[in-house]
Amino acid sequence: MIEACSLSFSYNHHSISNNEDFTGRALKDVSFFVNEGERIAILGHNGSGKSTLVKILGGLQEASEGKCLINGIDINEMDFRELRTTIGMVFQDPENQIVAAMVEDDAAFAPENQGLPSDEIQARVDEALKQVNLLHKQGASVSALSGGEKQRLALAGALTARVKCLILDEATAMLDPVGRVHVENVMKELHKSGMTIIQVTHQIEAENFDDIQRVIVLSHGEIIWQGVTRDFWEKSEALGFDLPDEFKIKQLFAARDINFPESFRDCRINFREESDTYDPAKSAKFAIQDLSFKYEDSTTQTLDKVNANIPAGRWLSIIGRTGSGKSTLVQHLNALYKIQDGRILFDDKALPQKGEEVHELRRKVGLVFQHPEDQLFSFTVRDELAFAPKNAGFTKHELDEAVLYGLECVSLDESFLDRNPIALSGGERRLIAIASVLAAKPECIVLDEPLAGLDAHYQHQILNMLKKLRDNGRTVITITHDLSMALNYSDRILIMGDGKAIQEGSPHEVIASIMHNLEPGAWPDVLRFSAKIHEINKDFPLLYNYEDFISCISQI
């Protein structure tokens, strides 16, 4: 159905060619084919050129060399309307694909562009909304949808054009685990009904890959491997992609002839959990007492009498569903939100709420928002890193030292200082944004989804950095949907739900509460397996760490 013949693309004719982010978008001699009804994955790290490839396949960008054929016809010579009813696209950010404020109006956009009669448009809208399970939201306004629902609406927006092939560019990257599962279910149904699907992604997820028939791996603009999914698994680590735990475990079961979960029914496992005798109430950095907060335009309490202690010198992860109040809570910690009701003690003193003291507080408590790379504004990395310390009143000498300190925290060398942040890769920009907060030497650092959208290399780098900060006595707080990271890396976990603090404790202490409050789709793979075994054999521990799980398995 689709055939890419030696596609190349370069930005050489642009003056920005020395810019890494742009050279990262080049393609070299890319050839492959996609059969009708097939579901394939194009896998590549950030900067591998996959976004450029997506645009060329979708006819949104012309290749410098080579051809892209759709059913044998050159994509650039194809009739516009025919092309747009053959290939549909879904991009990463749902907001940027939705043109109307109402669900039905948006779904209707494509058939309206085709000039179809009104009743045909309505019929297609109803059908597409049904396919993506959004029919119950047909009269709703887009702003009332969750991230996952918006992305399903974007899918519907392509389906109403009756396309034969869908190209998805990191379509689930910005969604929470629940939203991801819903989108994935829709994709499976579509594939079953004969849709050709090309999924472009930087991360392998077990639930996605069940259904995928072939994999193409892209690196630095070139295809370094392609083949059927079964063969891909053996190669994946060599190709630079971590295997999902679920897959590794299933393989292990198969290799050792284990019948899951039956084989575990009567086994006895020796596993000693390390007990955390730590008492957060004795050494709290923040003591939050009956904190309540309500947005002006909201009718419900966003925070409803939150009580929690945030331990000093530890790494705390705050977890909970979207809308449970996590972001609002942490924005109280540096007085971005003023306390409406209740109180917060910071180092046993009331948290300042106004005046110069708030500035002092913001130096001590650094806050890194989601996608902080979007907030960079300076022309050089040096200026960017100097911004926070300068605001905090550092002297000239202290300033230079602070800039170097920030850079050192994120393990980047001094050659970065004179570069323009805009010209750096996405991962590097994230590091610079984090460094720009660390440069002011905060005692406590709060990060909202620090790993979102990064590939494994940068994820590991940030996790190591946070570990080091914690070991140096800083208080680290992360907000995350990634439970595997929360359980395996942080010392303590705070579970939020419906504006309340449900429980604070060590990973081991909160595991039961996590299973009770969050859906299995969000659990780490290891926990899903051990919970199944635990159901039939209460002696089997509830585990979240892959190595622990393997050591338990090897005992039978």
Partner 1 sequence: MYFTNISLGQYVPTGSFIHRLDPRAKLFSLLFIISAVFPAENFIKLSFWTALLFLLVWVSKISWRIILMTARPIFFLIIFTFVFNLFADSLLRALLTSLRLLVLMLFAVILPLTTAPLELADGLDSLLRPLGKIGFPAHESAMMIGMALRFIPLLMQETDKIIRAQLSRGARLDQGNIFKRVRAFFPVLIPLFIIIFRRADEIALAMEARGYEGGSGRTRRRPLIWKVKDTIVVTVCALVSILLILL
Positions in the binding site for partner 1 (CB under 8 A): 55, 58, 60, 80-81, 84-85, 87-89, 91, 93, 95-102, 104-105, 108-118, 121-122, 125, 139-141, 143, 154, 157-158, 161, 296-297, 331, 334, 336, 359, 362-363, 366-367, 369, 372, 374-377, 387-388, 390-392, 422, 436-437, 440
Q: How far is the CB of 378 from partner 1 (least distance, A)?
A: 8
Q: How far is the CB of 101 from partner 1 (least distance, A)?
A: 5
C-beta closer to partner 1: residue 51 or 484:
51
Q: How far is the CB of 137 from partner 1 (least distance, A)?
A: 12
C-beta closer to partner 1: residue 229 or 334:
334
Q: How far is the CB of 428 from partner 1 (least distance, A)?
A: 16
C-beta closer to partner 1: residue 99 or 239:
99
Q: How far apart (Å, rounded) are the C-alpha atoms in residues 78 and 67? A: 12
H or E segment and range at residue 4? strand 2-9
Residues 6+ apart with CB under 8 A from 419: 380, 381
Using DSSP's 3-state secondary structure scheme, residue 225 falls into strand
C-beta closer to partner 1: residue 366 or 541:
366
Backbone phi and psi for residue 447, each to the nearest 5 degrees, phi listed first? -125, 130
C-beta closer to partner 1: residue 42 or 437:
437
C-beta closer to partner 1: residue 437 or 514:
437
Q: Are 42 and 209 in contact (CB under 8 A)?
A: no
Q: How far apart (Å, rounded) are the C-alpha atoms in residues 424 and 422? A: 6
Q: How far apart (Å, rounded) are the C-alpha atoms in residues 543 and 16? A: 50
Q: How far apart (Å, rounded) are the C-alpha atoms in residues 289 and 345? A: 8
Q: How far is the CB of 112 from partner 1 (least distance, A)?
A: 6
C-beta closer to partner 1: residue 50 or 55:
55
Q: How far is the CB of 384 from partner 1 (least distance, A)?
A: 10
Tell me how far CA of residue 67 lies from CA of 53, 75, 332, in angstroms.
Answer: 12, 8, 55
Q: How far is the CB of 157 from partner 1 (least distance, A)?
A: 6
Determine if the peptide bond prior to 261 is cis (ω within 30°).
Answer: yes
Q: How far is the CB of 124 from partner 1 (least distance, A)?
A: 9
2-9/65-70 β-pairing: antiparallel
For residue 516, which amino acid is it? H
C-beta closer to partner 1: residue 54 or 510:
54
C-beta closer to partner 1: residue 144 or 255:
144
Q: How far is the CB of 505 from partner 1 (least distance, A)?
A: 28
Q: Are 352 and 431 in contact (CB under 8 A)?
A: no
For residue 536, which amino acid is it? I
C-beta closer to partner 1: residue 98 or 291:
98
Q: How far apart (Å, rounded) are the C-alpha atoms in residues 265 and 284? A: 42
Strand partners, 201: 43
C-beta closer to partner 1: residue 333 or 487:
333
Q: Are 150 and 98 in contact (CB under 8 A)?
A: yes
Q: How far is the CB of 424 from partner 1 (least distance, A)?
A: 13
The DSSP 8-state label assigned to residue 162 in this structure reads T
Q: How far is the CB of 435 from partner 1 (least distance, A)?
A: 12
Strands (E), 263-375: 284-293, 303-311, 315-319, 341-346, 349-350, 365-368
Q: How far apart (Å, rounded) are the C-alpha atoms in residues 553 and 556? A: 6
C-beta closer to partner 1: residue 263 or 370:
370
Q: Kindly tell me the sign of the dihedral angle through the C-alpha atoms of 372, 378, 380, 383.
A: negative
Q: How far is the CB of 437 from partner 1 (least distance, A)?
A: 6
3-state secondary structure 471-537: HCCCEEEEECCCHHHHHHHCCEEEEEECCEEEEEECHHHHHHHHHHHCCHHHCCHHHHHHHHHHHHC
224-229-232 Cα angle (round to 5): 45
Using DSSP's 3-state secondary structure scheme, residue 422 falls into helix
Q: How far is the CB of 334 from partner 1 (least distance, A)?
A: 6
Q: Which tokens go with 481? A: 């949907």
C-beta closer to partner 1: residue 154 or 483:
154
Residues 6+ apart with CB under 8 A from 495: 319, 320, 501, 502, 503, 504, 510, 513, 514, 517, 518
